[in-house]
A and B are shown apart, each in its own frame.
Chain A
Amino acid sequence: MREDPGLYDYWPYEGRPRIEWPDGARVAVWIAPNIEFYELAPPPNPHRTPWPRPIPDVPGYSYRDYGNRVGARRFAAVLDRYHVRASVSLSVAVCEMHPELIEMGVERDWEFFSHGIYNTRYSYGMTEEQEREIIRDAMATIEEHTGSPCAGYLAPSLTHTERTVDLFAEEGGIYTCDLFHDDQPTPLTVDSGARFVSIPYSLELNDSIVVVVTKVEPRRWADMIKRSFDRLYREGAASGTVLCIPVHPYQVAQPHRLAAFEEALDHITGHDDVWMATGREIAEWYIDHHWEDAVADIAAKQGGIPR
């Protein structure tokens, strides 16, 4: 074990080189639905039990299945109303099992990135070669079924090894959603030396955390999103910021929650100078326009406040 992930240096929010998003936007907003598959009877992992109850865990399994059977299309209809594209965090087995969901996204020009094979197969305990195998599998599956290469990664069920980010970068990815340390992109130091960034995802606004862990009432969740947006929009006048709304169709598309999400989306899209983007677009823009300045600024601040 090591003291820190070894992926980024300390970099204070104040005084960074200015980020300029396309068309003078103040804030880049991306919507990341997790389209997942949880297996009824996954093989055991010695480090984590997949279900709290003996298999079959009918409440847990059927709740997740709701997202694919009912929630996904209902959620897509809301994004359609606001002409917003999604960046799908995908359990890639959905490509083979439920290809209709992939078609739904492809015809809307959504991005798909890897969230592992299944959300019931954890990275814990994997050797480097085993983890490389699932990363390659996922990237190849996404490219084959969507026609576009996989650019981003969110580890399956947020299970990591020390090598996860390095391996994904080596295999050709350009961004990760696995770090929650910032409201702007961060250049990461990866073993391959490739240009690779962390893009703000969010656990603070993620429906899983808000609904399941902190049990916030849906309309209060909408308030949290709107307040986050308002602050990042204000700060984005000085230097571009990123707001991500990560959701799960089995949660957000429940009939008692979707109106709250729509209230937040209506608020956001009612503003000028907002870049409704995908994860890949944010990563590519940052790498193309801000990489050198950021890396130089980070280096200049490692010894203290530059004189």
Chain B
Amino acid sequence: MTLDRDYFEYPHRSYGMDHDRYPWEMLQDRAPVTWPEGATLAVWINVGLPYYPLDQSNDPFPPPHGMKTVYPDLRHYSLREYGHRVGVYRFFDALDASGLPVTFAVSARLAQRYPYLAERLAARPDEIACNGWSMNHPHHGDLDPSVEADLVERSLATLGEAVDRDIVGWLSPGKSQSGRTPDLLAARGVRYMADWVNDELPYSFATDHGSIVSMPLSSELADTTILVDSLHAVSEYVDQVTDAFDLLLAESAREGGRMLALSVHPWLLGQPHRIAAFEAILDLVGGRDDVWVATASDIVEAWEDQQPG
């Protein structure tokens, strides 16, 4: 098949991006950022608590790390449930021992199903962000707009009620968005979203309802990418986090504040043979004067305080 004339037309081939959500701007050209108490590197540990229903639809694509076998996939369902029943309590112990705050990104449906877990989360000093309704409810370009508007509203309201607070952070299931997701989030008062992985600092993202902060949560350094998708050894996972930490810390001392965003999951790192890796990472990033371990919303606030106007 041959190509039409419009395949050789380039309507966005001029200065800037090919959309109007944020301007083209290199990290290294921005005014340097500083973090509280003289720290140069902010570390955001995002603990994912996604709910994977057994009746997964795979529409329009299979959710990452979801059900894989013919229905009913008891294997993957219960392996993910392990994180909610066992792994997360190992995480609580490790976090309490370290004294470091994290952000839990929780599926609204999980909080609704397990009030015990929701109460435990709500009683902790950590932040709670919304990971959508469930991993079987992706936001995507072919989704009916009214369905998506209801998903956003229902997810934020249900999770907020379960943990008794306003939710200001959002992570879409599978980081998948439609062209309207940021507008819906901003309209509902969400302050930051963590889906776009194009940066290593917060940045401002335009919507129909004012700006929202984009908080890049690295997918490449996620425990799931390295351990599940790439099948690296758990020691190699820690090595890669250490290489990233060393590089960003050195760069932050030379060039201005940086942020290390670590995506971790109790269903994966909460297993007995992996939990020591999570503890090793807490040891790596904690207890240093030049490193600020903080929740995503605290990082957003510190960053916003330094933005002009």
Contact = CB atoms under 8 A, between A and B. Distances in A.
A237 to B, nearest CB: 34
B199 A69 contact: yes
Contacts of B229: 215
Given A56-B141, A256-B220, A260-B243, A65 B7 contact: no
A61 to B, nearest CB: 8
B243 A256 contact: yes
Interface residues of A, number: 53
B198 to A, nearest CB: 4
A238 interface: no
B142 A66 contact: no
Contacts, number: 154
A39 B12 contact: yes
Interface stretch (A8-16, A96-104, A190-198, A282-290): A96-104
A59 B64 CA distance: 12
Interface in A57-107: 58-59, 61-63, 65-66, 68-70, 72-74, 93, 96-100
B17 interface: yes
Contacts of B288: none
A261 to B, nearest CB: 11
B26 A63 contact: no
Interface in A213-229: 215, 217-219
Most A CB atoms within 10 A — which of B7, B9, B15, B24? Answer: B7
Contact of A130 (B8, B176, B219, B239): B8
B219 A59 contact: yes
Interface string B2-33: 11101111101111111100001111110000
A93 B219 contact: no
A40 interface: yes
A303 interface: no
A251 B197 CA distance: 12
Interface in A121-148: 121, 125-127, 130, 133-134
A275 B8 CA distance: 39
Interface stretch (B75-83, B91-99, B150-158, B246-254): B246-254
Contact of A62 (B2, B25, B196): B196
A255 interface: yes
Interface string A205-217: 0000000000101
Interface stretch (A21-29, A44-52, A170-178, A180-188): A44-52
A250 to B, nearest CB: 9
Given A54-B60, A62-B198, A259 B12 contact: no
Given A58-B196, A215-B230, A215-B231, A125 B219 contact: no
10 contacts: A45-B7, A53-B61, A55-B141, A58-B177, A59-B174, A59-B195, A217-B233, A254-B221, A254-B244, A260-B243
9 closest A-B pairs by beta carbon, nearest first, are A54-B141, A255-B244, A65-B198, A215-B230, A256-B244, A62-B198, A256-B240, A62-B196, A46-B1
